[in-house]
Amino acid sequence: MHETVPLARVEGTVLFHGRNIYGAGVDPIALRRHVGMVFQRPTPFPTMSIRDNVAAGLRVQLGERLDRRQVDEIVERALRQAALWEEVKDRLKSSATGISGGQQQRLCIARALATAPHVLLLDEPTASLDPLSTQKVEELVYELRSSMTVIIVTHNMQQAARVSDRTVFMLSGEMIETAPTRALFTTPSDARTEAYVTGRFG
C-alpha cells in the first residue's frame, strides 16, 4: 500500500514467487489479487449481506465472469474454511453487521480466502475478540498454514507460540531476529529478543 502514501519510502526486498514486489515494473494492483488482508478490527462492508461480503473480491478479479452457482460454491467454501458456514448458512442475505464481532472477523477472513490468495496477511486479528472467538481464529490460522503462507502480526507471545512455524521479533521498526518459533522462544540469539520473551521489557 506504500504507493498510496505521499513521501512514503521502502528499504529492503520483499520476495513473492522470487520477484521483489517493490521492483520496477511490478503492478501493485495485480499483486494484491494474490494477497489477502485482514485488519485488526472487523471491517465487513456494512451495506452488503453476509454472502455479498464474501463474494466482493470476486468482482474485481481478472478472468472469466462467474455465474451465481459458481459464486455460491466459492462463498460456501470460504465460509467453511473460516469455520463460519454452520453459524450463518441460514442467513446469508442478512446484513453482515448483524452478527457478533468474532463472526464478523471470521467473515472478513472468509472474504480474503474467497479469492484463493497465495498469502494471507493478518494484522492482530484477535485483538478485539473474546477468548472463544480468538480460539476459533487461531485454529483457523493453524489449519490454513498447510495451504498458503500466513503472516500474522501479534503482540501476544503465547499466540505466536501456538500458531506459527517461524517467528520474527521486531523492535522500533527493525527486524531483530528471525528463527523457528520454538528456537526463538527457548534459545534466542539476540539479547533484546531474550529480554522481551522473558518479560524484562515490553
Structural domain containing residue 19: 1-32
- Stated pTM of the model: 0.86
CA atoms within 13 A on the CB side of 134: 14
Asked if residue 119 and residue 179 are part of one domain, the reply reads no
Residue 182 included in any domain: yes
Asked if residue 67 and residue 43 are part of one domain, the reply reads yes
Q: Hunting for cell 494477497 — which residue is that?
A: 35
Tens of pLDDT, residues 4-28: 888 988 888 999 999 999 888 888 8
Residue 159 included in any domain: no
Asked if residue 44 and residue 139 are part of one domain, the reply reads yes
Asked if residue 192 and residue 96 are part of one domain, the reply reads no
Beta-strand (E) ranges in the chain? Answer: 15-16, 19-20, 35-38, 119-123, 149-153, 166-171, 174-180
Residue 160 included in any domain: no
Residue 42 included in any domain: yes
What is the domain count for the chain? 3
Tens of pLDDT, residues 55-101: 998 877 655 678 899 999 999 999 998 889 999 999 999 999 999 99
Distance CA 16, CA 3 (A): 17
Asked if residue 79 and residue 17 are part of one domain, the reply reads no
Distance CA 94, CA 48 (A): 8
Shortest CA distance to 36 belongs to which of 127, 153, 116?
A: 116
Residue 98 included in any domain: yes
Distance CA 21, CA 30 (A): 11
